Amino acid sequence: MTVIDDIATELDQLAIEVPSWAYGNSGTRFKVFATPGTPRTVHEKIADAATVHELTGLAPSVALHIPWDRVDDYGALASYAADHGMKLGTVNSNTFQDDDYKFGSLTHSDAMVRNKAIDHMYECIDIMGVTGSRDLKIWLADGTNYPGQGDMRSRQDRLQDSLRKVYDRLGENQRLVLEYKFFEPAFYHTDVPDWGTSYAHCLQLGEKALVCLDTGHHAPGTNIEFIVAQLIRLGKLGSFDFNSRFYADDDLIVGSADPFQLFRIMAEVVRGGGLDPANGIALMLDQCHNLEEKIPGQIRSVLNVQEMTARALLIDRPALTAAQESGDVLGANALVMDAFYTDVRPGLAAWREAKGLPADPMDAYRASGYQDRINTERQGGRQAGWGA
């Protein structure tokens, strides 16, 4: 018997989507360090993602970023993924790396530029049709740097207009998730800066439009779990981009900067039924591994999410409700902290072994020889990177 036995059914529902770009080289605007074994193609990224899933049983799908992962035949790519035990997941659009988008994409004052961005979204929807992906992710770099540079109000009107055109193109089982971010690359105003703006646009669009919450996209001190609770309550939380941050959008390993915050977020996900696939909340990572090795970085990430999910599931809910309703402030807090401080690692190791997975996926990766093999095999070609 371990602490996990009572929560195993819920825990079994946990599925995390990994981003293709996490396997490529990345860095800061100061330097991108190349790493041996880095994938040159989307196929090699999928193979690396499959290794993470094979060792953890937690990450059955991989998100694509277009144009970074553009190929001629998406059907063949989906079959390649399936042969590796993986599904292709969210298709991330990109309207932030083309000169035409300097002053905006879906919000641009020039209809030619807006249409170019809308056409790009249509391309992504077509890809989703072939790969069987459910979600189109839209994150916009749109914004301005100086007061007066743009008319914030008409930019909102154009945004809704453009999003409507994209929304109307979605198939029956497809959705659009609109991600917000409070600043960067724009420094004065951003067109989708917060969950409220994303929610307002999604509400106007309809039920297939939902909010994407990237944990690194808030001002310091923001109570993110409150936003999670509210969006789930409103039926409008479509997906997470998990990562962690010390300062801004650091894109570090989820749960590394503030494990307690990840626990509090997962407690609200569990409380809102968010682990149930029927509720349609995608748990994705959006990370870059600038200094650490990428595949172990991803393994660590999905394990961190699993550990905090297990702790969140251990909260004694009936006792917590009783304490809350009787005004027992410290009793209620103690119940939450008891769950947080429970060491679930031995229990999770046993859970893994019972499923034929390695007890310690980090060790198993080191022992597998996979890294040595890709370091040797992946010679020549151009290593993939964030943005290429």
Nearer to Mn ion, 48 or 241 (CB): 241
Minimum CB distance to ligand PSV, residue 146 (Å) = 21
Minimum CB distance to ligand PSV, residue 249 (Å) = 5
Question: Whose CA is closest to 239, among 136, 387, 111, 364?
Answer: 136
Nearer to Mn ion, 242 or 365 (CB): 242
Residue 241 interacts with ligand PSV (CB under 6 A)? yes
Partner whose binding site includes residue 263, from Mn ion, ligand PSV, none (CB under 5 to 8 Å by kind): none
Q: How far is CA 285 from the centre of its chain?
A: 3
Minimum CB distance to Mn ion, residue 137 (Å) = 8
Q: Exactly one of 20, 51, 92, 190 binds ligand PSV (CB under 6 A); which one?
A: 92
CA pair distance 90, 63, nearest whole angstrom? 5
Nearer to ligand PSV, 180 or 263 (CB): 180
Q: 240 - beta bridge partners? A: 213, 283
Using CB under 6 A as the binding criterion, the count of chain residues that bind ligand PSV stands at 9
Question: Whose CA is closest to 242, among 54, 61, 13, 16?
Answer: 16
Question: Whose CA is closest to 47, among 92, 103, 85, 93?
Answer: 85
Task: Write the DSSP assignment of 24-93 as a string of letters.
Answer: SB-B-SS-B---TT--SSHHHHHHHHHHHHHHHS---EEEEETTTT--S-HHHHHHHHHHTT-EEEEEEP
Minimum CB distance to Mn ion, residue 298 (Å) = 16
Q: 135 - beta bridge partners? A: 175
Per DSSP, which regions of 235-335 are E strands? 237-242, 282-285
Q: Give residue number: closest CB to ligand PSV.
A: 139
Nearer to Mn ion, 294 or 352 (CB): 294
Q: Going residue by residue from 118 to 147, which x/- string records binding to ligand PSV, judged by CB under 6 A?
A: ---------------------x--------
Nearer to Mn ion, 218 or 300 (CB): 218
Is residue 310 within 8 A of residue 7, CB to CB? The reply is yes
Structure tokens at 93: 């659009």
Nearer to Mn ion, 51 or 93 (CB): 93
Nearer to ligand PSV, 285 or 339 (CB): 285
| 107: helix, strand or coil | coil
Question: Whose CA is closest to 248, among 182, 340, 303?
Answer: 182
Minimum CB distance to Mn ion, residue 96 (Å) = 12
Partner whose binding site includes residue 181, from Mn ion, ligand PSV, none (CB under 5 to 8 Å by kind): ligand PSV
Question: Whose CA is closest to 240, among 195, 307, 189?
Answer: 195
Q: Exactly one of 17, 69, 179, 191 binds ligand PSV (CB under 6 A); which one?
A: 179
Minimum CB distance to ligand PSV, residue 118 (Å) = 17
Nearer to Mn ion, 137 or 264 (CB): 137
Minimum CB distance to Mn ion, residue 241 (Å) = 3
Nearer to ligand PSV, 292 or 328 (CB): 292
Task: Identify the sign of the CA torsion 45, 46, 47, 51.
Answer: positive
* Distances, alpha carbon 224 to alpha carbons 80, 87, 114, 239, 301, in Å: 37, 29, 32, 14, 19
- What residues numbered 311-370 form the site for ligand PSV, per CB under 6 A? none
Residue 191 interacts with ligand PSV (CB under 6 A)? no
Partner whose binding site includes residue 306, from ligand PSV, Mn ion, none (CB under 5 to 8 Å by kind): none
What b/e readout covers 293-313, taking b as 16+ CB neighbours within 10 angstroms?
A: bbbbbbbbbbbbbbbbbbbbb
Nearer to Mn ion, 246 or 341 (CB): 246
Residue 286 interacts with ligand PSV (CB under 6 A)? yes
Partner whose binding site includes residue 92, from Mn ion, ligand PSV, none (CB under 5 to 8 Å by kind): ligand PSV
CA pair distance 224, 216, nearest whole angstrom? 10
> What are the residues binding Mn ion (CB under 5 A)?
214, 241, 286
Q: Exactly one of 48, 135, 191, 214 binds ligand PSV (CB under 6 A); which one?
A: 214
List contacts with ligand PSV (CB under 6 A).
21, 92, 139, 179, 181, 214, 241, 249, 286
